[in-house]
Amino acid sequence: MVLCKLFEAYMNKQTAIDFFGSASALAKALGVSKSAVSQWGEQVPMRRQFEIEHVSGGVLRAGYCGELVLTDDSLPAAASR
């Protein structure tokens, strides 16, 4: 069996605000309120990271990493000997 674990990684809220010029402009680009943006912590929520990547034309990139976990039953029989 192969398991893939995804971990949220980091897109800094201030970097996104700086790119768009203001928190209001970032909120407008995402179609959310400025107060919604202000409720984020230092890290942009993962869902919003992908939206920001899209509306920035890929200049700002969603951060994510994955870990592939192989278990014994995912290995060929010869390799498990």
In the block, tokens 């919003």 appear at 48
Q: What is the pLDDT of residue 61?
A: 87
Q: What is the pLDDT along the chain (81 residues), one digit of tens a residue?
A: 544 455 555 788 999 999 999 999 999 999 999 999 999 999 899 889 999 999 999 888 887 655 545 455 544 555 544
Taking alpha carbons only, the member of 16, 4, 14 closest to residue 48 is 16
Q: What is the full DSSP assignment across the chain?
A: -EEEEEEE---BHHHHHHHHSSHHHHHHHHTS-HHHHHHS-SBPPHHHHHHHHHHTTTSS---EEEEEEE-GGGS-TTTT-
Tokens of 39: 């409720």
